Structure 1
Amino acid sequence: MESILSIEQRNNVLLSMARLVNDQQNDILKANEKDMKGYDGHDIAMYDRLKVDQEKINGMVTSLEQLAAQKDPVGIERFHFKHENGLDIYNKTASFGTIMIIYESRPDVTIEAGGIAFKSGNKILLKGGKESLNSNLAIVDLWHKALQENKVSKAWVTYLNFDREQTRAYLKHRDQKIDLIIPRGGEKLIAFVKEHATCPVIVSGRGNNFVYVAQDADQKKAMQIILNAKTDKISACNALDKVLINRDLPGYEDFVNRLIQNLQQHKVQILGAKTMASFEGVEPVSEEEVWYKEFLDYKILIGDVVSGEEAISMINKFGGGHSASIITENKNEAHTFMSSIDAAAVYHNASTRFTDGFQFGLGGELAISTDKLHQRGPIGLQHLVTNKWYVYGDGQIR
């Protein structure tokens, strides 16, 4: 690892990159068009993630500019102790060193994750999927131009154009020290990385998010939240997959029927537990396995419960540890739910679609971790650091 760059150098590179992305966006769009033509389109979630349009270009530029405006996360004092023998002991944040990011389909990760890693003083190894190769290479070319403009080595941002076998071999016999690996993608990718990595791995896990409509729910809020969380962006890991409805909800049957009709208007396939089989438009499912699945599709599973305790139990059993929301006007029940759910983000009367680095005020995210160490939920600039002890003495011995 090279000596850490000054915050001025890092910010200047980010601002150069923002300008280059804006000025040369046509090159990115043309490269993405090649990727889109080469994709067979069978997975609508991957198709959505793969596509780069004007909105995504604008998001890339905004992400880089926001990162440049944020404070340096490196060298922040976390602890200070003055020993009785005169030693001055500090603990400060420090860069990891070299971070490898393995991801599927999303060219904007090449901007956002790369920018966050770089701003926090880390060297970045980017390993994107073959479906987005042209887009990623076009963006990495801009990274290298931004680095060169500021007289910084291109080695700070490296693209690994490897297939699966080459990636496996690299993880086992890499040509440099890697301090942290973050896989962003499906469960197969995560399992592959965990099997072959020989350094710490932060899992950006599956969603499989739940909404619980409690007995005291405002039904208008519940309807709006469910429809938003399910249909706003089905390719997002914060999208909704499961809905649990308390049987004692006033007008329970009417609410379920209206929910089914609204979901059908958005062309959502509606699966239901056995107890929901009497509702028209619901496809009954009996296999427990479906409750564990993240759909990433216009598909939802609804079920009923008799209590908040049952809802909490089901969510903790089947959920992906990502996001869960309770819809209720009872603040005590909301507090119990939010305290008891084992997930990175818990909500009261709000859509799960907000679990996102931008929405949480982090200026973007490297990933959304469903692990509990060292950071849970959106991993922003502030979290992509470790720490180091600085001890100042004057000849002390123990």
Structure 2
Amino acid sequence: MTLIEMGQAAKVASSQLAVAGAAQKDAALRAAADALEQGEPMLLEANRKDVQAAEAARMRPAMLDRLTLDHTRISNMADGMRQVAAQEDPIGQVIEGRNLPNGLEIRRVRVPLGVIGIIFEARPNVTADAAALCLKAGNAVILRGGKEAIHSNTVCADLMRGAVEKTGLPRDCIQLVQDTSRSSSTGMMQMTGYLDVLIPRGGRGLIQSVVQNAKVPVIQTGAGNCHVYVDDSADIEMAANIVDNAKTSRPSVCNAMETLLVHQDIAEKALPVIGARLLEKHVELRGCPRTRAILGTDKVVPATEADWATEYDDYILAIKVVDSLEQALTHIAKYSTGHSECIVTRNYRNARIFQQRVDSAAVYVNASTRFTDGGEFGLGAEIGISTQKLHARGPMGVNQLTSTKFLVMGDGQVRA
């Protein structure tokens, strides 16, 4: 099918989904989850082809980790769909209501967005997560993954399409673009009249390309140049634990930290402890002159201007010693992508200042940036982390994939 044909089919499917009951949508999600588990052998075989091709192309280890599926990850994908099914149906929820003096009854209710397009990179789990969330919110979805995961994505989408059709919902409520060339990505950006919103999920390059070129509305997600600032009053062991977790627990994801800022008054004591933890995990350290003087020029390579703005998605960390909280705030304001930032401190006033001044979707005091996740926030699965302020911000769950409309009941009223 061409993109236009897919868009036409999605429009028809979305009109059916919009009036589907919660029970039917939830049954479809549970059936899709079962299909993923029952189709595990096919999924693993397809994924093996993708991984072999990625290894031959010398994909970076962190990105290869994103691509790889195993029994546990497939089970997690299925469980995620069941968790979405268990959530309250947002469609039809009354957000607010009032009766006017003239007798009009006004209610504002949640409604689906319609047709959502999602362009993403080498993460097969996104196929399942995105389809589940869109379906729950009554939206049809057109998925366009990267070429690195085409075999895995195709099998995953086919399993889900077959499962939802058996429950009476249109199979075209979930569609996967088979063309992974740049032209298909560009084509989706131009699908006015078919896509109600386009969501890019991937690195900064992908996101910026969509934002700059799309003619359809876009929700920005994912770019995560996240910072941890160690204040002068910080507990050093706590700081080491947070930095270690934020950088090394899974460096390829958008909520992993990329830059460490350390107050000059604690740097001499804190950096050796933190640096030792990171070097044990084989993290490449790129530091400012003061960082290199403390940790040793043999252990830390010189940081360049580009390092402060880079989302590595890898075992690489930029480190800078700053003179003050104010300098840390200035640095973050200049280089942050608005995702997640953390201060490690025992100073309540500084913690409050940091949370008030940092303009990001999630701002932490004494906790790892890795918590910026729909599941960790108790929101269930997510479509991504929105780093903009409209239409949503932070983890985007089911509620964030809806719009609202006003329902007005009258009894013959006319405006004077």
TM-score category of the 2 structures, normalised to the smaller one: over 0.9
In structure 2, what residue type is equivalent to 1:137? T
Asked if structure 2 preserves the Cα contact closer than 8 Å seen for 1:276 and 1:284, the reply is no
* Count of residue correspondences: 394
The change in CA–CA distance for 1:318 and 1:192 in structure 2 (over 3 A counts) is closer
What is the match of residue 302 of structure 1?
Answer: 319
CA distance in structure 2 between the aligned counterparts of 1:355 and 1:222, rounded to whole angstroms: 18
Query: What residue is the counterpart of 1:164 in the other structure?
Result: 182
**2:389 corresponding residue in structure 1:** 372
Give the Å deviation of 1:298: 0.9
Render the CA deviation track for 1:100-140: whole Å, top value 9, x for unaligned.
01100000000011100110000111111111011011011
User: Unaligned stretches of 5+ in structure 1?
Assistant: none
Structure 2 distance, partners of 1:195, 1:272, is: 32
2:36 and 2:381 mapped to 1: Cα distance?
Answer: 17
2:140 counterpart residue number: 123
SS in 1 for 2:262: strand
Deviations 1:135-162 (A, max 9, x none): 0110111111111210211111111112
Cα deviations by residue, 1:203-224 (Å, 9 ceiling, x for unpaired): 1131111111111111111001
Residue of structure 1 in register with 2:291 after alignment: 276
TM-superposed deviation, 1:170: 4.3
Residue 289 of structure 1 deviates from its aligned partner by 2.5
Which residues of 2 match residues 344-363 of structure 1 at below 5 A? 344-363=361-380
Deviations 1:336-389 (A, max 9, x none): 111111111111111111111111111110011111111111101121111001
Q: Sequence identity of aligned pairs in percent?
A: 37
Q: What's the CA shift for 1:255?
A: 2.3
Match of 1:88 in 2: 105
State the TM-score, normalized to the length of structure 2: 0.92
Q: Which residue of 1 aligns with 2:215?
A: 198
- Which stretch of the first structure deviates more once superposed, 1-10 or 130-139? 1-10
Which residue type is aligned with residue 301 of structure 2?
E
Q: Deviations along 1:265-313, whole A, 9 cap, x unmatched?
A: 111111111222313112122x323211111111111111122121111
CA distance in 2: counterparts of 1:78 and 1:214, whole angstroms:
41
* Equivalence for 1:18: 33
Contact 2:248 2:315 in 1 (8 A): yes
- Residue among 21, 27, 34 paired with 1:6: 21
1:184 matched to which residue of 2? Answer: 201
CA shift, 1:173, in A, is: 5.2
> Quick one: distance in 2 between partners of 1:99 and 1:173?
11
SS at match of 1:277: helix
Q: Would you say the 8 A contact 1:91–1:387 is kept in 2?
A: yes
Deviations 1:224-280 (CA, angstroms, capped at 9, x unpaired): 11111111101111111111111122xx32321222222111111111112223131
Residue matched to 2:4: none
CA distance in 2, matches of 1:362, 1:210: 24
Could you tell me how far apart the structure 2 residues matched to 1:13 and 1:182 are?
Answer: 23
Paired AA for residue 375 in structure 2: F
- What does 1:267-346 align with in structure 2 at a 5 Å threshold? 267-278=282-293, 279-280=295-296, 281-285=299-303, 287-346=304-363
| One-letter amino acid matched to 1:277 | R
Greater CA deviation, 114-123 or 331-340? 331-340
TM-score using structure 1 length: 0.96
State the distance in 1 between where 2:127 and 2:88 align: 22
Aligned 8 A contact 1:205 1:320 in 2: no
Preserved CA contact (<8 Å) 2:207 2:223: no
- Secondary structure, in 3 states, of the residue corresponding to 2:265? coil
What is the CA–CA distance in structure 2 between the aligned matches of 1:20 and 1:241, rounded to whole Å?
Answer: 38
Measured in 2, the distance between the counterparts of 1:183 and 1:254 equals: 42
Distance 1:37 1:120, change over 3 A: same
